[in-house]
Amino acid sequence: MLIRVRSRDGLERVTVDANATVKQLQYAIAETLNVPVSQQLLSRNQALLLAKGADRDAPSFTDMKNLGSSLSTLGLTHGAMVYLVYSGERVVARPPVTPHGTFGKKMTMDDMIARQTRIERQEKPHCSSLSLDRDAANSFQNYVHQSLAFAVKRGGFMYGSVNEAGEVLVEFMYEPPQQG
């Protein structure tokens, strides 16, 4: 199961077995987050993060002191939050910067060209021709022209058939409810 661990470094995740104990959770934190077991103080009480020195020995933070207690008996399920306080320093791995997170950074002309999307000509069309039923097309166009004066884009689904030559014959148009 996944346990979310909130510390001064932010929110991180640790995976443990569903019937794990507090001790096994501490070892998982030591392995995953590089915080030695001897420096860990765990609690389900969020006030632990704001407590100073001697206040951390308060009875409200002893809920996870018994290392043999299973996480399920403490009410910890998949996705539960545990608060962690530790002494010392550690290096926290940050997620890599995405291309969208490059605001204000220098970009060369080659970088800009590499990020462009190129739309190229289609060699063979999907359909060779399209024929619309006159009444269906007129009904659709009249509504758009008279009611909206072509000021709002509208769309419709075309239903019909396609023959072996790739010619499409539209017999019916359905315009779903739309907001302009």
Report pLDDT digits (tens) over 24-47: 999 999 999 999 999 899 999 888
* Residues found in the chain: 180
Q: Is the pLDDT of residue 83 over 60?
A: yes
Specify the pLDDT at position 180: 64
98 secondary structure, DSSP code = P
Q: Model-level pTM?
A: 0.53
Mean pLDDT of 1-28: 92
Tell me the domains of the chain and their CATH numbers. Answer: 2-85 (3.10.20.90), 129-174 (no CATH)
Residues above pLDDT 70, as percent of the chain = 92
Q: Are 60 and 41 in contact (CB under 8 A)?
A: no
Strand partners, 10: 7
Structure tokens at 115: 């990020």
Of 16-30, 46-60, 92-106, which gets the smallest average pLDDT?
92-106
108 secondary structure, DSSP code = -
Comparison of pLDDT for 31 and 62, the residue scoring more: 31
